[in-house]
């Protein structure tokens, strides 16, 4: 978990997906302002089964809405029902346990084996990930980095705040130890060093975005490997379920997730320090396989978790949740999932990764800008973009860019990596 007091959107976010910050400002000033007034919201009903006995009408109804992927006429990844913004569940005619009440803006509970999404809320909505983005960092880097290799800690990594293991600039650490610190105690400095091991932080982040594309996690834009809020960074509950399912295929990841404690050699020739896993569900929830907690003032509580019972493995993802109840809600959703798996009709499916040749072809082709979801507000962190008034947008373009860049520099203590 981490504390980030930077002013950020406190609700569902929807930022453009540019290659860089200046490109984002240019696209906003030149393209978005004249286009937004003409945007129209399509509506479609989400199918449901009959309301179970004892369930409220609110729990059995999904608000009609359109997900980002359908705003431009494109298919919704995972199935059309996942276009809804409200609670999405297909109850059988009778005998089903109602979904627990979860004070979170978005969540997904799915069977990792079959890929069936059992229930969801705003699954494709764009939200700030906080430290749950470290799961994407890990599943991207673990298959390509030598766990016994060492990484020299840069000053940028050592100075990152606030949750950290305490890496010392100029000292080297094993990649495998950095992964443990990143996953067990959410060490932001360790996540920066893991990305640095790819050649540079910028290259590591680029690899994360490429992996998200391969997994068909099209709601995801990564900007910082530790998940701290960055300009244009966002994920969805559905995408994080894809990350969670992929993590299950990486033995090293799942071993680290299930560690209660680990020793970390912080200083050469000194006694290692002890890392204690933040995920208390390892001790309290039957069948728990691990979990990644995140928190910033803007993202609120976020969570990705895994559990296995009776031969079934479920994943749960929660975004923009009222803290400190994310683990309580995760346990309730998992309990419901284990009880209702194979009873409720799935509302969608976790799609498989793209074939390698498809990813290569996609990366070789120019990418068309993705349509922005009409229900959400546009904006960069702390700097609203005025839509509909092209002249005003152009006049303020330079000021917007300078303010955002300067704020980012002040937070990180150095210009962003290129």
User: Which residues does the annotation mark as catalytic?
Assistant: 131, 134, 186
Where on the phi/psi map is residue 300: left (φ > 0), alpha (ψ -120 to 50), or beta?
left
CA distance 134 to 140: 10
Cα-based torsion angle of the residue sequence 313, 318, 321, 327 in order, rounded to the nearest 10 degrees: 20
CA distance 42 to 44: 7
CA distance 349 to 233: 24
Contact 322, 315 (CB under 8 A): no
CA distance 325 to 311: 27
Contact 238, 88 (CB under 8 A): no
What's the distance, CA 281 to chain centroid? 20
CA distance 251 to 213: 22
Contact 114, 58 (CB under 8 A): no
* Helix axis angle, 188-196 to 201-214, nearest 10°: 90
Dig out the tokens for 262 from the structure: 């680990």
CA distance 44 to 276: 47
- Within 13 Å and on the Cβ side, how many CA atoms surround 96? 27
Contact 265, 156 (CB under 8 A): no
CA distance 103 to 100: 10
Dig out the tokens for 301 from the structure: 């509580």
CA distance 157 to 192: 5
DSSP secondary-structure letter at 386? P
Give helix then strand counts, H and E, for the chain.
14, 13
């Amino acid at each position: 978990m981490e504390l980030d007091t930077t002013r950020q959107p406190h609700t569902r976010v929807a930022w453009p997906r540019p290659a860089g910050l200046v490109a984002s400002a240019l696209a906003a000033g030149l393209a978005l302002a004249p286009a937004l007034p003409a945007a129209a919201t399509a509506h479609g009903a989400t199918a449901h089964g009959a309301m179970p006995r004892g369930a409220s009408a609110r729990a059995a109804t999904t608000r009609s809405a359109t997900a980002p992927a359908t705003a431009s006429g494109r298919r919704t990844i995972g199935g059309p029902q996942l276009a809804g913004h409200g609670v999405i569940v297909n109850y059988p005619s009778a005998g089903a346990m109602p979904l627990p009440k979860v004070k979170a803006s978005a969540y997904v509970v799915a069977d990792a084996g079959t890929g069936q999404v059992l229930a969801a809320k705003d699954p494709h909505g764009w939200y700030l990930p906080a430290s749950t983005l470290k799961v994407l960092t890990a599943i991207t880097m673990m298959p390509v980095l030598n766990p016994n290799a060492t990484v020299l800690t840069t000053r940028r990594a050592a100075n990152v705040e606030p949750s950290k293991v305490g890496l010392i600039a100029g000292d080297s650490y094993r990649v495998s130890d950095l992964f443990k610190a990143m996953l067990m105690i959410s060490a932001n400095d360790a996540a920066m060093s893991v990305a640095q091991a790819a050649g540079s932080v910028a290259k590591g982040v680029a690899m994360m975005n490429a992996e998200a594309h391969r997994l068909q996690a099209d709601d995801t834009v990564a900007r910082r490997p530790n998940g701290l809020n960055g300009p244009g960074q966002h994920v969805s509950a559905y995408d994080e379920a894809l990350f969670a399912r992929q993590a299950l295929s990486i033995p090293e990841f799942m071993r680290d997730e299930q560690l209660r404690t680990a020793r970390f050699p912080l200083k050469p020739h000194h006694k290692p320090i002890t890392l204690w896993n933040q995920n208390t569900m390892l001790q309290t929830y039957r069948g728990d396989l691990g979990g990644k907690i995140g928190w910033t003032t803007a993202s609120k509580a976020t969570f990705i978790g895994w559990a296995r019972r009776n031969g079934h493995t479920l994943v749960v993802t929660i975004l923009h949740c009222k803290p400190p109840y994310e683990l309580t809600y995760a346990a309730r959703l998992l309990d419901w999932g284990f009880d209702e798996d194979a009873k409720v009709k799935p509302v969608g499916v976790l799609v498989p990764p793209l074939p390698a040749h498809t990813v290569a072809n996609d990366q070789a082709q120019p990418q068309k800008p993705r349509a922005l979801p009409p229900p959400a507000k546009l904006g960069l962190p702390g700097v609203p973009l005025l839509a509909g008034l092209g002249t005003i947008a152009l006049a303020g373009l330079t000021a917007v860019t300078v303010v955002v860049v300067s704020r980012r520099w002040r937070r990180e203590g150095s210009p962003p990596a290129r």
